[in-house]
Amino acid sequence: MDANTFIEEETKKLKEAIGEEKAIVALSGGVDSSVCAMLGYKAIGNRLECVFLDTGVMRENEGPDLKEIFAKVEIDLKIRDVRKEFFDALKGLTDPEEKRKAFRDTFFKTLRDAVKESNAKFMIQGTIKPDILETNKGVKTHHNPLEQVGLDPGKYKLTILEPVAELFKPGVREVGRALGLPEEISERMPFPGPGLMARCIGEVTPEKADILRKAHIVVEEEIKNARLKPFQAFAVLFEDRGTGIDKEGNRNFGNIIAVRVIDSKDAMEGTATDVPMPVLKKISERIVAEIPSVTRVLYEITGKPPATIEYI
């Protein structure tokens, strides 16, 4: 695939499909949706609305950071605070598929509100090939390929366009670079649509999301400091607890965090990265120091398969 030919062809297809109507892209901050935003903007300019839904399970400062990045390419990103809707919908849910379903339903409900306001008739979505392959295999109910999971886009009065659906991650990155996306986006680790929820076992609460956000920063920073370039690196929060001793010498039955660092080409298969022990220890020391409720940090060593990359 030649990235420039791909961009030309997909821009043309988007232009033809959308005509004189408006379209919307929900930006997650990942490379897939960012490429969609750039392609959409190239195709229809300001008739494209880019929206960031702050679901409460996104990375630290994600919305404002993205707004700044996209302002540089003249895209005015709108941030919608929908945290309450998401935490309400996820309240009491512990089953992974129920959580995913609640997330997906809330995502489309809140997106529908954004769509209504924008008058968009089309939504450009960053579905990529592994999303489709894995959904077909029944590995997981990804919220991306709408029709495959039995959601009728007609019900939402929206036509879904998926310009990168035939690409794997390396291809999307190549297109991102050719589109002039900054490196911090084009080379960014994948981040799932359902965000930190995919790394939160059990009920998802604002407090648990905060723990995951803080732990994620530590993992990302230390992996970067160690000049490692894994496919993904992140923190997972368990429901179980383990005893530790806090600074005052009191016993604390605290949270357990798992660190997941994985090498993979395209997310279909992967192996745990050989992260040097001193780096892992640094991660552990920082996490327990920066997040007092955490008493233990584990390193995950399972490959994919049999494990998936995310935890739910």
Q: How far is the CB of 29 from ligand XMP (least distance, A)?
A: 11
Least separation in angstroms between residue 103's CB and ligand XMP is: 8
CB nearer ligand XMP, residue 44 or residue 215: 215
Residue among 80 and 104 whose Cβ is closer to ligand XMP: 104
Q: How far is the CB of 293 from ligand XMP (least distance, A)?
A: 25
Q: Closest distance between ligand XMP and the C-beta of residue 227, in Å?
A: 21
C-beta of 92 vs 306, nearer to ligand XMP: 306
If the CB atoms of residues 40 and 192 are measured against ligand XMP, the closer one turns out to be 192
Q: What is the dihedral of CA 244, 245, 251, 253, to 10 degrees?
A: -30
Which residues contribute to the site for ligand XMP (CB under 6 A)?
A: 134, 140, 142-144, 190, 192-194, 198, 232, 267, 304, 308-310
Give the list of residues 6+ apart from residue 91 with CB closer than 8 angstroms, or none.
203
Shortest CB 142 distance to ligand XMP, Å: 4
Residues 235, 223 contacting (CB under 8 angstroms):
no
CB of 304 to ligand XMP, least distance (A): 5
Q: What letter represents residue 312's amino acid?
A: I
Write a three-state SS string for the chain.
Answer: CCHHHHHHHHHHHHHHHHCCCCEEEECCCCHHHHHHHHHHHHHHHHHEEEEEEECCCCCCCHHHHHHHHHHCCCCCCEEEECHHHHHHHHCCCCCHHHHHHHHHHHHHHHHHHHHHHHCCCEEECCCCHHHHHHHHCCCCCCCCCCHHHCCCHHHHCCEEECCCCCCCHHHHHHHHHHCCCCHHHHCCCCCCCCHHHHHECCCCCHHHHHHHHHHHHHHHHHHHHCCCCCCEEEEEEEEEEEEEECCCCCEEEEEEEEEEEEECCCCCCEEECCCCHHHHHHHHHHHHHHCCCEEEEEECCCCECCCCCCCC
Instruction: Give the nearer residue to ligand XMP in terms of CB position, either 268 or 280.
Output: 268
Query: What minimum distance in Å lies between the beta carbon of 195 and ligand XMP?
Result: 9
Shortest distance, CB of residue 143 to ligand XMP, whole angstroms? 5
Instruction: Tell me if 91 sits within 8 A of 71, measured CB to CB.
Output: no
Task: Compare residues 104 and 286 and give the one whose CB is closer to ligand XMP.
Answer: 104
Between 14 and 262, name the residue whose CB sits nearer to ligand XMP. Answer: 262
Residue 61 or 302: the one with the smaller Cβ distance to ligand XMP is: 302
